[in-house]
Amino acid sequence: MTDTLAIALAQINPTVGDIDGNVGRILSARAEAAGQGAELVIAGELCVSGYPPEDLVLKRAFLKVIETAVDKLAGVTADGGPGLLIGAPWRDGGRSRGLDRGNDDERLYNATLLLDGGDITAIRFKHELPNYGVFDEKRIFTPGPLPGPVAFRGVRLGVMICEDMWTPDVAECLVESGAEILVVINGSPFETDKPDDRLSPAVARVTETGLPLAYVNLIGGQDELVFDGASFVLGADKKYKAKAAAWKEDLLTTFWKRDRDAWTCDETPIPPGIAEEEAIYQAMVLGLRDYVGKNGFPGVLIGLSGGIDSALSAAVAVDALGPERVHLVAMPSPFTSDESIEDAEEISRLLGCRLDSIAINPAMDAFDDMLAEIFTGHTPDTTEENIQARARGMTLMALSNKFGYMVLSTGNKSEMSVGYATLYGDMCGGYSVLKDVYKTMVFQLCRWRNASKDGAVMPDRVITKPPSAELKPDQTDQDTLPPYDELDAILTCLIEHEMSLDDIAAKGHDIETAEKVWHMLDQAEYKRRQGPPGVKITRRAFGRDRRYPLTNRFTGKV
């Protein structure tokens, strides 16, 4: 039995499928932790494979590489340094159990493995598999039995994997079978209010068991998900004892003492919380940085209109990648105002980015001539407006093909909700940082960013002028849409809360407006299916969080 233990919380940024790279990050964290006197290094959920690996885990070759990598990590611990508690997909206990992995009946688990003294000394499987929102682990993993604690150098650790903490059963089983410290390895993606949502079940488990709890989260972007870190330790008194940084890789070494039969963690300074706007902005920055970096793009291209959405997208891109990797392109038409041209120039100056101007008038004229005969007798309408948007999209894609930069689309969640966007036009792109950000939040983020210590990134006029697509004379968004504060409130009721029209009206909204928005939301489903991926910010992001049929005649009326 020991009376002290030094535990390092290794908040690392793995990449799905990059097994060698992920192992390298784990080993680097272990080496740093050893220098700080750590005896155990804990990393996040499925950190060896990257999280979420999705259907990659159905490939036997992928699992074999992971098992070899875990053997390598176990072998490293023969040096007498820190042990490792890591997450990985694992088949029937894996190689160390000598099973026939060619058997079609073999089972695959989301596992945590304790490595020490050159061997795999314990394996535990995730019991509670999430099957909602972005999570569909029941498709690929088998739920493990309720676990008992694992023994590490005289201490009994009650190990849980992410969702295991959200219900009382696993923690109850662990404390009843002798656990002394609860440890939770996580792949918990960011969304607004998520920090409080994590703390609540953690406090509940500490309250129920009377045990302290160490919570280790991942950091980084993976496709549409962003992991914000913010790993922490709660004492048995339910108070923070230590907390890692949010939004960056971090190694937090904590020092524990046994006092009679209870373990306490020495307190460390707790980083202050941050405002909602800053958290959302950091999520967009990290999501874009990792999507571009992990996929090997040299930089991004952005169509800069002089409007607020493209201005915010450009600011995020510069903060994520640096100005030298952000290429801005203005594409004026006869309907582009002088103000928009001036604002685009000022945005590029403030951001320090290259700005090229490519007028789309020749493309508009060419399409007018090409279609004149077949359009005879038809007055101009949204067809001609969409041609402008598609000319811009084609221009950006030509530049992308020529120079290798990824096009960053700039549409926000309000527009994508109601279909106020053009397929193969302004929806064109490889990624979108505003995809899950409502227009009202776009305004808030721009004001926050302009007031930040890093300085203004756009003229105030960009924030205050009426939003417009500028596809015809004197056009504003409110010609077609309700005011954004009203629109976003109704969309939040429909998307985030699945409210009925009567319930929305009971909140004070005009029922005819709510019905119109409901109809636009459903009608735009086919557009959203063809849009680029983007950073998940809210609890109900478009995509796997919200799956609606393309063909849908339900009107909301009962």
Asked if 37 and 79 count as a contact pair (C-beta separation under 8 A), the reply is no
Alpha-carbon gap, residue 250 to 167, rounded angstroms: 28
Structure tokens at 320: 């994520």
Contacts 24+ apart (CB under 8 A), 136-145: 136/544, 137/110, 140/54, 140/55, 140/57, 140/58, 140/108, 141/57, 141/89, 141/108, 141/109, 141/110, 142/107, 142/108, 142/109, 144/109, 144/110, 144/111
Asked if 408 and 432 count as a contact pair (C-beta separation under 8 A), the reply is yes
For residue 18, count CB atoms less than 10 angstroms from its CB and return exposed for 0-12, middle for 13-18, buried for 19 or more. Answer: middle
Residue 162 annotated to the active site: yes
Calculate ∠ Cα 24-29-31, nearest 5°. Answer: 95
Active-site residue, from 39, 45, 137, 180: 45
Beta strands, E only, 369-508: 406-409, 431-432
Residue 45 annotated to the active site: yes
Alpha-carbon gap, residue 443 to 475, rounded angstroms: 20
Alpha-carbon gap, residue 513 to 117, rounded angstroms: 66
Active-site residue, from 126, 241, 413, 435: 126
Q: Is 116 helix (H, G, I), strand (E, B) or coil?
A: strand
Give 235's DSSP letter.
-
Integer angstrom CA distances of residue 227 from 355, 397, 519: 32, 30, 34
Task: Give the Cβ contact number of residue 146 at 10 Å.
Answer: 16
DSSP secondary structure string for all residues of 246-281: BSS-EEEEEEEEEETTEEEE---PPPPP--HHHHHH
What angle separates helix 439-451 from helix 308-321, to the nearest 10 degrees? Answer: 50
Asked if 547 and 435 count as a contact pair (C-beta separation under 8 A), the reply is no
Amino acid at 492: T
Active-site residue, from 39, 137, 162, 428: 162
Residue 402 annotated to the active site: no
Asked if 135 and 155 count as a contact pair (C-beta separation under 8 A), the reply is no
Residues serving a catalytic function are 45, 126, 162
